Amino acid sequence: DVQLVESGGGLFQPGGSLRLSCAPSGFTFRDCWMHWVRQAPGMGLVWVARINPEGSTTDYADSVRGRFTISRDNAKNMLYLQMHSLTVEDTAVYYCATAGNYRFDQWGQGTLVTVSS
Amino acid sequence: QSALTQPASVSGSPGQSITISCSGTSSDIGGYEYVSWYQQHPDKAPKLIIFDVSNRPSGVSNRFSGSKSGNTASLTISGLQTEDEADYYCTSYTSSVAYVFGTGTRVAVL
């Protein structure tokens, strides 16, 4: 079975940094586009970033471009989201998701990031 | 890129059919056949239920169906059941920021 396990969330101060991780299993990770999607408490889903299978192409939502970096290590079977210059608006559950052809096939359980002083 | 527009809530009685709309523009819904729908129960991860406008993944009930006309996509749930109570989100590939989600619709089964 496909599994995606996110980690790295917690309580962080405004202006701070953190790195989220996503550990995939049950599928050939190195062949898949991967995404991060976030959901603020009580709010809707928002696409954050994507990365191609080789790790050579990335795209970002306007709200995080220049502050967040998506990356992957296919040798270690890991997906990452490096987050800098955190603001309270970055408070959300962050999901990693596998990408089929223009859809989000499988989702992790999410990891909560809270930005507060 | 603004979120796609969905009604905040839709309700129906068991056995009824309901339809959720998802309104976008020619840069997203109207420009691509890449609309997908997700079901999210409280405190759970989203689940893909429709992709490429009208296709169901294996294992998803055929009570869920999707369609598109112009810049608006729709999700229909027929034979409404209590377990269908959840939030539903549409998404579309876009010409600008890759993907945009809808604002979300809460479905209540009365």
Are residues B89 and A45, on separate chains, in Cβ contact within 8 Å? Answer: yes
Distance between A5 CA and the closest CA of chain B, angstroms: 12
User: How far apart are alpha carbons B29 and B6 in whole angstroms?
Assistant: 13
Partner-chain residue, chosen from A44, A59, A107, that has the shortest CB–CB distance to B101: A44
pLDDT digits (tens, 9 = 90+) for B41-95: 999 999 999 999 999 999 999 999 999 999 999 999 999 999 999 999 999 998 8
User: How far apart are alpha carbons B82 and A97 in whole angstroms?
Assistant: 27
Residue B96 is predicted with a pLDDT of 80
pLDDT digits (tens, 9 = 90+) for A37-89: 999 999 999 999 999 999 999 999 999 999 999 999 999 999 999 999 999 99
Chain B residues contacting A via beta carbons under 8 Å: 1, 3, 32, 34, 36, 38, 40, 45-48, 51-52, 57, 89, 91, 93, 97-104
The DSSP call for residue B2 is: P
Percent of chain B scoring above 70 in pLDDT: 99
Neighbouring CB atoms inside 10 A of A80's CB total 20
Instruction: Provide the b/e sequence for A21-51 (b: ≥16 CB within 10 Å).
Output: bbbbeeeebeebbbbbbbbeeeebbbbbbbb
pLDDT digits (tens, 9 = 90+) for A5-33: 999 999 999 999 999 999 999 999 999 99
User: How far apart are alpha carbons B68 and B24 in whole angstroms?
Assistant: 11
pLDDT digits (tens, 9 = 90+) for A99-112: 878 899 999 999 99
Residue B61 is predicted with a pLDDT of 96
A41 touches chain B (CB under 8 A): no
Q: What DSSP string runs through A53-79?
A: TTS--EEE-TTTBTTEEEEEETTTTEE
Contact in structure between A36 and A94 (CB atoms under 8 Å): yes
Are residues A59 and B52, on separate chains, in Cβ contact within 8 Å? Answer: no
Looking at per-residue confidence, does B20 or B95 come out higher?
Answer: B20
Residue A106 is predicted with a pLDDT of 94
User: How far apart are alpha carbons B100 and B34 in whole angstroms?
Assistant: 11
User: How far apart are alpha carbons B18 and A35 in whole angstroms?
Assistant: 30
Residue B20 is predicted with a pLDDT of 98
Are residues B52 and A50, on separate chains, in Cβ contact within 8 Å? Answer: no
